[in-house]
Structure 1
Amino acid sequence: RVRDALSREEMPALEILEGAVLLVTGVMLLLPGFITDAIGFILLIPPIRRALLVYFLQHSGILQRQPPFRQPEQNKENTRVIEGEFRQVDDD
């Protein structure tokens, strides 16, 4: 999935984070305890895992609303260009 996202020229952030969550899930399943096992099994379900990641990314401010390589908007007053020709006229 990371390669597919890169071939579409998109950032594979969600896919990379899913891999990290799966790593944490594996550690939680290895730890003893009912609560860690329950959280680990819940995070193994792909729709729940993806929904939690999207929720976390939206509320943490990590997701950007604009493309990452877009130039910032400049002041509209200073972007006016006037084209034309000129010649110098002597006062003689």
Structure 2
Amino acid sequence: MWLLIAFLAVPLIEITLFIQIGGAIGLGWTLAIVVITAILGASLARSQGAIAMGQLRNSFSDMSDPTEPLAHGAMILFAGALLLTPGFFTDAVGFSLLIPGVRKAAFEFLRARVNVQSFSTHGSPRTDPRQPRGGDVIDGDYHEIPPTDQGSQKPSGWTKE
């Protein structure tokens, strides 16, 4: 239900803002602001994303919980998408998600409402370590066959003489 409301409300808000701002400053300046915010937002999202990737790599190398860097990366990606979408409301939300304090507050808000029941870094334990994990491995034996006399046979066409 909330998704439906968002899909209806956001375009209505954007159209209203375009009409109001375009009427106040003119069409040319309105379009210039939309293009400038898209370019500025893309560069900011790229630099913030590089920082988030560094933090994610550090959490993996330190063997610490990667949840927060992953959430920050997802929010930066979402911010970049919002900033590339033409509109003033989406730009405001996108730029706010590029502020680390806002991302941290959003992460803490979501963390308080999500309950993780269990977490595992590997698959289910196997009883026999020699058994494959999936069903796509076939166990088999082979025997080498000694070469036969090649003088009496013609080449097959797949081999060179």
Task: State whether TM-score is above 0.5.
Answer: yes
Displacement of 1:48 after TM fit? 1.0
Q: Who is 2:29 aligned against? A: none
Q: Who is 1:19 aligned against? A: 73
Q: Report the TM-score, using the length of structure 1 for normalisation.
A: 0.61
Does residue 43 (structure 1) correspond to residue 114 (structure 2)? The answer is no
Match of 1:59 among 99, 109, 113: 113
Question: Which structure has the bigger radius of gyration?
Answer: 2
Provide the C-alpha distance between the structure 2 equivalents of 1:22 and 1:9, rounded to a whole number of angstroms.
23
Displacement of 1:29 after TM fit? 0.5
Q: Who is 1:8 aligned against? A: 62
Match of 1:32 among 86, 96, 100: 86
- The structure in which a higher percent of residues are helix is 2
Q: Report the TM-score, using the length of structure 2 for normalisation.
A: 0.37
1:2-42 Cα offsets, whole Å, 9 max, x none, are: 22222332121110111111111000001111110110011
Query: Percent identity among equivalent residues?
Result: 36
Gaps of 5+ in 2: 1-54, 121-161
Q: List, as ranges, runs of 4+ consecutive aligned residues in structure 1 with deviation greater than 4 Å.
A: none
**AA aligned opposite 2:65:** M
Gaps of 5+ in 1: 70-92
Provide the C-alpha distance between the structure 2 equivalents of 1:40 and 1:32, rounded to a whole number of angstroms.
11
Provide the C-alpha distance between the structure 2 equivalents of 1:7 and 1:53, rounded to a whole number of angstroms.
22
Q: What is the Cα-based RMSD across aligned positions, in Å?
A: 2.0
Partner SS state of residue 9, structure 1: coil
